[in-house]
Amino acid sequence: MVASSHAGTRSSLTALVWPLPESEVLVPGEKVYYRERRHWTYLFSYLVETVAIFILLMVSFEGLPRGGGTLALFIVVGSGVVVFRLAQARSWNWTEGILFGCVALLVVGATGNSPGAIALVVALAASVRLVAHYLRWAFYENRYITNRRIIETSGFFGSRISSMPLGRVTDISLTRSVWGEVFDFGTLRVESAGQEQALGRISFLVEPEVFHETIVLLSTETHA
């Protein structure tokens, strides 16, 4: 539980990379009862994908390790499946596309059009992607529950604020997967009056029971 504190607003020069201050998220008189980022396990899938890319690059240039046997083959096949699923699900936005294109042109132009240069571009892109997701998670993303709304913020080369008034909440359900029970995180589904909301599903919740209980208490007071 934390109290609300209003920070200074960002200037036009820093708005692209500076995290959203609470003064741009909250309205006057809004009190914060919960504020956390996503659970750290949110980053695990990105770490696994990056490691899988590096494994495939190493195998492409050096082949399977001698004496690796079935385990090495299993790891390589698993890495291939992970990268294939990543390629299927990947959707690039224009900022990521421009960043990757600039890095590719610089590296290939400096080293020549060789397989090693292409591999270096892929490795750099995978590393930059992982670091970008970590920075976004660590500094730019927050979940709030206030006396008025459920709020989710994100940023880093652009910002987004999604919110749902507590008065519109009609039903909520909290679920934990097996991994959620082990690492203590959960997913909350929120149903609201009217059309589908952006915060209908809130995953990787830190202290999910606290989040659930806070919404129940505040939404009950709102409906009373």
pLDDT at 167 over 90: no
Higher pLDDT, residue 160 or 175: 175
- Residue pair 211/204 in contact by the 8 Å Cβ criterion: no
- CB under 8 A, 24+ apart: contacts of 205-210: 205/36, 205/38, 205/39, 205/143, 206/36, 206/37, 206/38, 206/39, 207/36, 208/174, 208/176, 208/180, 208/184, 209/174, 210/34
Confidence of residue 78 (pLDDT cuts 50, 70, 90): confident
Pick the range with the lowest mean pLDDT from 26-30, 172-176, 208-212, 218-222. 218-222
pLDDT of residue 66: 66
Residue 171 main-chain phi, psi, to 5 deg: -160, 140
Average pLDDT over residues 215-219: 87
Model confidence band, residue 7 (pLDDT cutoffs 50, 70, 90): very low
- What integer pLDDT is reported at residue 144 of this predicted model? 93
Residue extents of the structural domains in the chain:
42-137, 149-223
Q: What's the pLDDT tens digit per position in 33-58? A: 999 999 999 999 889 888 888 888 88
- At 223, the pLDDT band (50, 70, 90 cuts) reads low
Q: Taking 70 as the threshold, does the pLDDT of residue 25 lie above it?
A: yes
